Amino acid sequence: MRLDGKVALVTGGSAGIGAAVVDGLAAAGVRVIVHGRDEERSAAVAQRVGGAVVLGDLAVPGAAADVADAAIAVHGQVDVLVANAGAGWSGPFTGLGGDELDRLVTLDLLAPLHLVRCLLPPMIERRNGHVALVGSVAGRTAVAGEAVYAATKAALDIFAESLRLELRDTGVGVSLTVPGVVDTGFFTARGRPYDRKRPRPVPAAVVARALVDGITNDRAEIWVPGWLRVAPAVRALAPGVYRRLSARFGEQVVSR
Ligand SMILES: NC(=O)c1ccc[n+]([C@@H]2O[C@H](COP(=O)([O-])OP(=O)(O)OC[C@H]3O[C@@H](n4cnc5c(N)ncnc54)[C@H](OP(=O)(O)O)[C@@H]3O)[C@@H](O)[C@H]2O)c1
């Protein structure tokens, strides 16, 4: 896809990976609409690329459709959706309250699906566009203490694969970016800082570069770093070995 002159909505563009994607797209000549929850942070990112801002709490049912409408209102169309906004929650599954569970699933799974539902039809009509979903290695490998987060990302994975099949020959691309550990505020926000030595967190700009390249070259999956692909391969081929390794080296559940 040629990006120059296109319009992109980046959800969660106010920080971390999303903010780096905003910079990457703007450098490629894209008119970027920065979505965030925090007004100041969102405005600061938008200002540095001359972009627009759309605010909304995507953990609230119905907010995704409002964000999509507000984004279309900015330039009349959205050619690229980067559904990146998301948050984790760390702790034993039994410690997650019902309302928190609903918010997590709404933000990490339902909001991306509703954004696609609202923004995809005009892309298909124009026979041009791209839906970039941001998953996680957690959705491929499973993580103790992040069962719901991992489940939402696993669902996004199969949604992306299905949608890509459905949209073949329409001119609209679908990609899933699968980051490992990225150096952002994600871990503090999930309630447990990242305290392992390995794997070392990669900079958000590295993920953003790969994601933007994935849009340009219509890649189905973008793993950052690439060697992470080994983990789900071992899980599929030797599940018993995988579970033993996971129990030994995986993240440990921390009581809240
Ligand atoms: N960091 C990692 O290691 C890692 C690994 C794998 C996947 N990911 C995925 O990458 C994506 C971006 O995460 P990040 O690492 O960049 O985290 P981050 O630095 O914490 O940024 C999260 C972004 O999502 C937005 N957001 C959070 N809750 C929201 C809500 N309720 N409504 C609307 N927007 C909300 C935040 O907006 P405000 O700041 O305005 O609230 C912020 O822009 C997420 O989908 C995450 O699951 C991250």
Residue 147 covered by a domain: yes
Beta strands in the chain (DSSP E): 7-10, 31-36, 52-55, 80-83, 129-134, 172-179, 182-183, 202-203, 221-224
Q: Which residues contact 66 (CB under 8 A, 6 or more apart)?
A: 56
Q: What's the 107 CA to ligand 1 centre distance in angstroms? A: 10
CATH of the domain at 99: 3.40.50.720
What average pLDDT score do residues 215-241 get? 95
Residue 256 covered by a domain: no
Token digits for 213? 């390249």
Domain region containing 234: 7-249
Comparing 41-45, 110-114, 158-162, 233-237, which segment has the lowest mean pLDDT? 233-237
pLDDT bin (cut points 50, 70, 90) of residue 157 is: very high
Atom of ligand 1 nearest to the CA of 103: 31
| pLDDT beyond 50 at 256 | no
- pLDDT score, position 250: 78
Which of 143, 184, 192, 222 to mutate to test ligand 1, by most ligand atoms within 8 A of the CB atom? Answer: 184
pLDDT bin (cut points 50, 70, 90) of residue 255 is: very low
**CA dihedral sign, ordered 41, 58, 83, 232:** positive
What is the distance of C-alpha 10 from the center of its chain? 10
Q: What's the 8 CA to ligand 1 centre distance in angstroms? A: 17
- pLDDT score, position 247: 87
Report which DSSP code applies to 199. Answer: S
Say which of 19, 64, 149, 179 is annotated catalytic.
149
- pLDDT score, position 253: 53
> H or E segment at 166?
helix 147-166
> What digits encode the pLDDT tens for the residues 97-116?
999 999 999 999 999 999 99
Atom of ligand 1 nearest to the CA of 204: 16
Q: Which residues contact 139 (CB under 8 A, 6 or more apart)?
A: 150, 151, 152, 153, 154, 155, 156, 157, 178
Residue 1 covered by a domain: no
Atom of ligand 1 nearest to the CA of 189: 20
> What digits encode the pLDDT tens for the residues 183-196?
999 999 998 889 88
Q: What lines the ligand 1 site, CB under 6 Å?
A: 12, 14-18, 36-38, 41-42, 57-59, 84-87, 107, 134, 136, 179, 181-182, 184-186, 189
Cα–Cα separations (whole angstroms), residue 249 to 80, 187, 242:
38, 18, 10
Atom of ligand 1 nearest to the CA of 149: 47
The three-class DSSP label of residue 42 is: helix
Q: What's the 84 CA to ligand 1 centre distance in angstroms? A: 7
For the question of residue 194 being annotated catalytic, the response is no
What average pLDDT score do residues 57-84 get? 98
Q: How far apart are CA 205 and CA 21, in angstroms?
A: 7
Atom 41 of ligand 1, nearest CA residue: 37
Q: How far apart are CA 29 and CA 23, in angstroms?
A: 10
pLDDT bin (cut points 50, 70, 90) of residue 83 is: very high
Which of 35, 84, 99, 251 to mutate to test ligand 1, by most ligand atoms within 8 A of the CB atom? Answer: 84
Residue 254 covered by a domain: no
| pLDDT beyond 70 at 166 | yes
> What digits encode the pLDDT tens for the residues 105-156?
999 999 999 999 999 999 999 999 999 999 999 999 999 999 999 999 999 9
Residue 190 covered by a domain: yes
The three-class DSSP label of residue 240 is: helix
Q: What's the 244 CA to ligand 1 centre distance in angstroms? A: 30
What average pLDDT score do residues 165-171 get? 97
Q: Please report, in angstroms and rounded to a whole number, the separation of the first and last CA atoms in the chain.
A: 45
Residue 255 covered by a domain: no
Please name every residue paired with 37 in a beta bridge, in sequence order, or none if there are none: none
| pLDDT beyond 80 at 254 | no
Are 19 and 42 within 8 A, CB to CB? no
Residue 16 covered by a domain: yes
Atom 36 of ligand 1, nearest CA residue: 12
pLDDT bin (cut points 50, 70, 90) of residue 234 is: very high
What average pLDDT score do residues 64-91 get? 98
What average pLDDT score do residues 199-220 get? 97
Number of domain units in the chain:
1
